[in-house]
Amino acid sequence: MSALIDAPDLLATSDIWSMSAACSELWMLLRAVGDETPRVYRTRVKGLIAAETNFEPVEAIRRIRGELQERPESFKNLLRIIPVEATIPTELVEIVETVLRLAEKIPGDESFRVTLEKRKTKLRSREVIDAVAEKIDRKVDLGEPDWVVLVEIVGKRTGVAVVPRDGILSVQKERAQLASKGE
C-alpha cells in the first residue's frame, strides 16, 4: 500500500478509527451515483483514503454532493472529499508547473486561493504557497475566492486540482447547512 496511489481521482478523509467503514462508504456512494467500477484504497496516512472513479474528479464531487442532499444519512464516516486532477512527484518545480497549467481555466476577472495540506514531507507550507501563488496572474482572495488551488502533498507524491470554490465536499459543513434549512 503506497502513501498515495499513483493517480487517484479523489482523496477523502475520515477519523482514524473508521477508515475501513469510510472506504466502504465512499465505494458505495460512487456506485450509487453511477460509477460501476470505483476503486477505493486506504493509504499509509491515517485518516486518508484514495479513490479512482470513472468520472472527472469535479463531476464526482458534484454527484456525491447531490447524494448528500438527497440522503444525508448515508454519510456516517467521511469528513471531506477532495478532487485530484493531476498526481505528480513532490518537487516544488513540478508542483508549480502543474498548477500553472491547471490554473489557465481561471477567468482573468476571478479570484483564487491556495489550499495546501501536507503529510510526510519536509517542504515548508509558506515555500509551496508562495511559489504557487506568485505565478498565477489572478487576484488572491483568502476569504471568498472564486477558485481554489488545491495542493495535497503525501510523501513523495502530490495531488493537485484547480476547482471552483464548491469543488471540495466538506460533509460535516454541508450536513449542518442542510439541518439548518430543516431538510
Of 152, 104, 139, the closest CA to residue 5 belongs to 152
| Confidence (pLDDT) at 113 | 95
Say if residue 31's pLDDT is above 90: yes
Say if residue 3's pLDDT is above 70: no
* Beta carbons within 10 angstroms of residue 94's beta carbon: 14
The mean pLDDT of 158-177, rounded to a whole number, is: 92
Q: What's the pLDDT band for 179 if we cut at 50, 70, 90?
A: confident
Can you name the residues that pair with 50 across neighbouring β-strands? 11, 41
* Same fold for the pair 10-85+168-180 and 86-165: no
| Confidence (pLDDT) at 183 | 53
pLDDT in tens, 108-136: 999 999 999 998 889 899 999 999 999 99
Of 19, 43, 24, 41, the closest CA to residue 117 belongs to 43
The mean pLDDT of 133-153, rounded to a whole number, is: 94
The Cα 162–Cα 95 span in angstroms is 12
Q: What's the pLDDT band for 84 if we cut at 50, 70, 90?
A: very high
On whether the CB atoms of residues 106 and 138 are closer than 8 A, the answer is yes
| Confidence (pLDDT) at 1 | 36
* Beta carbons within 10 angstroms of residue 123's beta carbon: 17
80: exposed, middle or buried (C-beta count within 10 Å: 0-12, 13-18, 19+)?
A: middle
Q: Which of 3.30.70, 3.30.1490, 1.10.10, 1.10.287 is the CATH number of 10-85+168-180?
A: 3.30.70
3-state DSSP call for residue 79? strand
Domain segments of the chain: what residues? 10-85+168-180, 86-165
Can you name the residues that pair with 13 across neighbouring β-strands? 48, 80
| Confidence (pLDDT) at 175 | 85
Give the fold, CATH level 3, of 86-165. VC0802-like (3.30.2130)
Tell me which residue has cell 464548491. 166
